[in-house]
Structure 1
Amino acid sequence: MTPLILTFVSHFGEMGSRWGFNRTVGQVYALLFVSEQPLHADEIAEHLSFSRSNVSIGLKELQGWGLIRLTRIPGDRREYFSSLGDVWQIFRVVAAERRRREVAPTLTVLRESLMAPANEPGDKYAQERMREMYELVDLANTWFDDLQRLSPESMAQLMKMGAKVQKLLNAKDRLFGAGNKEE
């Protein structure tokens, strides 16, 4: 590996734990992401100095996330792996998987907690707080659905708008009043 690729792969491994997978998985993914050609497990193990079994486990996890593709080369019995090509597709897959693993269970627990009887002292207050959290998480979840339907170009435009969106909302509030909730 070149020093440039090694730096990227090492950093991605360190960041992997913050993004929901371990260092090995992060490094395997980073290597596949910057590789021009699909790689088989033995090549990945050799490049990263990992055991073949660690690479296999990492590849299974990445397949579970939907972040890599499996391909075969005619006449070769080995399986070759590559990352998804489009960074927007990668973003969508990671966001959707994190939502499935993290947000959906949280919404379920909050929904069940809000339906439970409030019999003990403090339960009413706790449910009020949980309702606030549920409404926020549900709103963010709905917004995520809307984002998933945008084209990559529209998503990029929205992200580039940044603080301009706040200025637009402030102008709307000045025109229509801050308390007006137009939909």
Structure 2
Amino acid sequence: MSSTALSPLVRSFVSHFGEMGSRWGINRTVGQIYALIFVSPAALHADEIAEKLEFSRSNVSMGLKELQSWRLVRLRHQPGDRREYFDAPSDAWEIFQTLAEERRRREIEPTLSMLRNALLEEPQTEEDRVAQQRMKGMHDLIELMTTWFDDVQRLDQQTLSQLMKMGAKVQRLLEFTGKLKTPAKE
């Protein structure tokens, strides 16, 4: 086994992350590069990544650019070394927040913008009025979710963790305090 071979644990994680990445809408290679950088105890340069994953250097370079555009890896320089090194935040909360922000910027904001523009148009037909009503419902839900997301992002990690652990208890609390109307029982 060469010094660059991945341990079975790391190999399993990297492989799984590549599979999941393709389901999340990113290239499998990009997912594997990210997984390797994430679990690495030290920053890696592109040649190390290419060697460890047995990818071409050009694939690694493209993958690193993609990860940088998502703000999931950071570029580092080592004293006396001209190569660029990459590491990833190790805090899962920070990673989740970055991913949520990027997905919002790339997916939610353009959709909201399109819906806002569509709702400003004067409907020409009954079909347009129905379509606009449905778009308004979608717009209102997305706006509500983004407002909630903004509120959640302002919470500190400990408070957010406690809130998440509460789960359905929040619903019972709201019902108890009368802030949530429960559906009528038949």
Shorter-chain TM band = over 0.9
Partner of 1:88: 93
Which of structure 1's runs of 4+ aligned residues deviate more than 4 A? none
2: distance between equivalents of 1:148 and 1:177? 23
Q: Spell out, residue by residue over 1:29-68, the C-alpha distance to the aligned partner (whole angstroms, 9 max, x if none).
A: 0001100000000000011110000000000010001111
Kindly indicate whether residue 140 of structure 2 is the aligned counterpart of residue 143 of structure 1: no
Residue 122 of structure 1 aligns to a residue in which SS?
Answer: helix
**Bigger shift: residues 145-154 or 34-43:** 145-154
Give the deviation of 1:20 after TM superposition: 2.9
Residue 55 of structure 2 aligns to a residue in which SS?
Answer: coil
2: distance between equivalents of 1:118 and 1:137? 22
Kindly indicate whether residue 8 of structure 2 is the aligned counterpart of residue 6 of structure 1: no
Kindly indicate whether residue 119 of structure 2 is the aligned counterpart of residue 119 of structure 1: no
Aligned counterparts, 1:2-151, within 5 A: 2-151=7-156
For normalisation by structure 1, the TM-score amounts to 0.93
2: distance between equivalents of 1:76 and 1:177? 60
Give aligned pairs, total: 177
2: distance between equivalents of 1:66 and 1:42? 21
Give the deviation of 1:177 after TM superposition: 7.2
Residue 80 of structure 2 aligns to a residue in which SS?
Answer: coil
1: distance between equivalents of 2:23 and 2:107? 14
Unaligned runs of 5+ in 2: 1-5
Partner of 1:178: 181
Aligned residue type for 2:123: A
Residue 126 of structure 1 aligns to a residue in which SS?
Answer: helix
For normalisation by structure 2, the TM-score amounts to 0.91
Give the deviation of 1:170 after TM superposition: 2.1
Q: Spell out, residue by residue over 1:150-179, the C-alpha distance to the aligned partner (whole angstroms, 9 max, x if none).
A: 111111111111111111122233xx6729
Unaligned runs of 5+ in 1: none
Cα RMSD over matched residues? 1.3
Q: Percent identity, aligned pairs only? A: 60
1: distance between equivalents of 2:119 and 2:30? 37
State whether residues 171 and 180 of structure 2, in contact with CA within 8 Å, keep that contact through their aligned partners in structure 1: no
Closer/same/farther in 2, CA of residues 177 and 61 from structure 1, 3 Å limit: closer
Give the deviation of 1:137 after TM superposition: 0.4
Aligned residue type for 1:18: R
Residue 70 of structure 1 aligns to a residue in which SS?
Answer: strand
Residue 139 of structure 1 aligns to a residue in which SS?
Answer: helix
2: distance between equivalents of 1:141 and 1:67? 22
